[in-house]
Amino acid sequence: MMTIDKTGLPLYDGENNDNFGRKPHPHDDVATHNEMEVQPAMEAYVFNIQRFSTRDGPGIRTTVFFQGCNLRCAWCHNPESIPAKPLLQFFEDKCISCGQCVAACANGAHIMVDGQHRFDESLCTYNVACAAVCPQDALRADARPYTPEQLTDLLLRDEGYYRNSGGGVTASGGEPLLQAAFVQALFTALKQKDIHTALDTAARMPWHTIKPLLPYTDLFLVDLKAIDPDVHMAYTGTDNRLILENIRALSQAGAAMEIRMPLIGGVNDSADFARRTGEFLSGLPVPPAVRLLPYHNYGLYKAQSIRRPMEEFSAPLHIDEFARLLRGYHLIVEV
């Protein structure tokens, strides 16, 4: 059965719920809204490794973006990260129909019709050979599997930058807690080298998944999409009860934490939401710092590349007022 949420996007009920309302084909294997199981395998898909990052924790950092997410934020700026298994990105505007991908694909996902390239997603098994031969970067297969050891070795190449700047490594996504065992192994190895670690998470996982990471995580960057549970449900596909419980539990545990709030015009940027957020955060045992993140539409182009519809939203009109209201609750707020 198909329903419509407040974003205007169709949502398929149950296990057929995929990233942006399209009923998934057999190769999607998406992380569904209700998925709460941690993947046990000590290998993880990483779709981006961003060096010299300065906004994902202190100092100069490397941010590791893990594949798979159990939220469906309507404004997601990394929509290619949502499926549990990666999708081939096809940027149609870059394609010159050279046909090199046709010869490289063993599954017939790429064909030529009247001299024009056509891509059949249902036949794609994420064989990266087609992307490797594309001369225009119209096909991208950025996600790669890593073991914790391989990733640690790669991240330590920038150890000098971390130490000189007070930086480190941030695990992001997607939702890195879907692969918590992998993240714990990675952070354990990094802490053995005295590297600062940060975890960027929406925290919609059971506490027993988060708690083992406490000794190995120097900073939790927790994404709070909306303080209102109904708005949260409408725009992310789930309510925020578990997220708020975990924010409180992290505070009670004495974990260093920053709350990161994407502000979307007309969705979660009202004065009422600011006051309710301020009341909740200021009532925690250790009130956390807050970083406000104004909406941008960077995800639209990437959503097109994975054949997913995405609505364009507006930037918040009164972000400074939102910040002022939060500061009225004696919170440290950055914009």
Residue written as token pair 């600062």? 196
Tokens at 311, concatenated: 């609505």
Q: Could you tell me the domains of the chain?
A: 2-86+143-334 (3.20.20.70), 89-140 (3.30.70.20)
User: What is the three-class DSSP state of 305?
Assistant: helix
User: What is the three-class DSSP state of 100?
Assistant: helix
**Rounded CA gap, 75 and 261, in Å?**
13
pLDDT of residue 7: 32
Mean pLDDT of successive 10-residue stretches along the chain, which has 335 residues = 34 32 36 45 90 96 97 95 93 96 95 96 92 96 95 97 98 97 97 98 98 98 97 96 98 98 97 98 98 95 93 94 98 97
Q: Which residues of 159-177 are buried (b: 16+ CB within 10 A; e: fewer)?
A: bebbbeeebbbbbbbbbbb
Q: Strands, DSSP E only, in 129-272?
A: 139-140, 144-146, 168-172, 196-201, 219-223, 257-263
pLDDT of residue 42: 87
Length of the chain: 335
pLDDT of residue 28: 39
Contact 250, 222 (CB under 8 A): yes
